[in-house]
Amino acid sequence: MAIASLLLLLFLAFLHSCAGQNHSAANISAIDAAVRDRAFQLFRRTNEIVDVPVSAGAGAAVEASALRVRSNAMWADGVNATAGFTIPPRVVPTPFTRRVAIVFERFQANSSSDLFAAPRGYALAAPVVGLLAFDASTGPNNELALRALGAPVRVEFKNLSSVNGFNATTSRCLTFATSGKAVATHAVESGSSCVVPGTGHYGVAVRVETPPPPPPPPPTAVRERWWLWKVGAGAGGVAVASFLAISVAGAVRWSRRRQREEMERRALSGEELGKMAVRGSRMPSAKMVRTRPEVEEGSPPPWRKS
């Protein structure tokens, strides 16, 4: 019963963790879709950055902006945009298209901690940012990747020096999956910038000091525990000895009863004896004599003498 209850609790915890991951993935995808659709509605001219307001119904506090740019212009000049991203020259969209819509996202602190999870032993030190690209020629449903053939794409996280515990040598740049889980980490570049592979969601995390182990118990507590162990061991020994004694007594009684039953069975299966009265007492007697008396030297039996 206890094992079944434990297995049930583990199964429920597994379902809860899976449901939590699916919920985070759905929220992130919904936010990206809302920002993308609103950005395509606001585009008016090429190479013009537009602020994208996100409604409260998206489920998170996000600051977003977007830019529509020609692929040849991005290849030649790159893009210096908001949210800390720097797209250098010699970056091409994959698959290739003539015009690219680039969306920049910056999640607020509460939304970052709710939707994205840092690795064990680390904590987010800055809001998570996102870089998305879409085919501006065909519509918002065709997502693109950005491939850097020269210098890599960078994102700079500002105001990290004021964060307690930030150290560029021990902090890590994070790449998040759509589920909100960190799937890749690498070292922070000079200052507070991170090199990113292209589109995606990125963050930076600082190492969290693990709490020290609890102090050892005082000697009095150790003695009390040892006394409890001794009492428990003595009680257990008495219980085991009592169980063994009862078991041995029961085995002896069962053996004797089996022997008595066997004797009775053999007695019932043999020849039945008769009864005779001797001085007022009834005693068993055989119905016949197996060994006949022999007459010595031809003398007649005593009962035939006249």
Spell out the domains of the chain, with CATH numbers in brackets: 19-207 (2.60.220.50)
- What H or E segment, with its residue span, contains residue 257? helix 219-269
Judge whether 302 and 296 are in contact, CB under 8 Å. no
Spatial CA neighbour of 200 closest among 144, 137, 273: 144
What local confidence, expressed as pLDDT, does residue 11 receive?
Answer: 40
What local confidence, expressed as pLDDT, does residue 216 receive?
Answer: 67
Residue 50, number of CB atoms within 10 A of its CB: 17
Q: Where are the beta strands (DSSP E) in 118-187?
A: 122-124, 129-135, 143-148, 153-156, 172-176, 182-187
Q: In this prediction, what percent of the chain has a pLDDT beyond 90?
A: 30
Scanning the structure block, which residue is given the tokens 């969290």?
208
pTM (2 decimals)?
0.61
Residues contacting residue 88 through CB under 8 Å, at least 6 positions apart: 78, 148, 150, 151, 152, 153, 154
The β-bridge partners of 129 are 106, 202
The β-bridge partners of 207 are 122
Q: Which amino acid is it at 138?
A: T
Scanning the structure block, which residue is given the tokens 């030190």?
125
Q: For 154-163, b where at least 16 C-beta lie within 10 A, e where not — what string?
A: bbbbeebeeb
> What is the C-alpha separation between 36 and 31, in angstroms, rounded?
9
User: Which conformational region is residue 111 in: left (phi greater than 0), alpha (psi within -120 to 50 degrees), or beta?
Assistant: alpha
Residue 283, number of CB atoms within 10 A of its CB: 11
Residues contacting residue 80 through CB under 8 Å, at least 6 positions apart: 86, 87
- ω into residue 300 within 30 of 0, thus cis? no
> Reduced to 3 DSSP states, what percent helix, strand and coil does the chain have, rounded to the nearest 5?
40, 30, 35
Judge whether 126 and 156 are in contact, CB under 8 Å. no
What local confidence, expressed as pLDDT, does residue 6 receive?
Answer: 41
Coil, helix or strand at residue 77: helix
Q: What does the block give as tokens for 135?
A: 């085919």
Residue ranges of the chain whose pLDDT lies below 50: 1-23
What local confidence, expressed as pLDDT, does residue 261 receive?
Answer: 78
CA 172 vs. chain centroid, Å, equals: 25
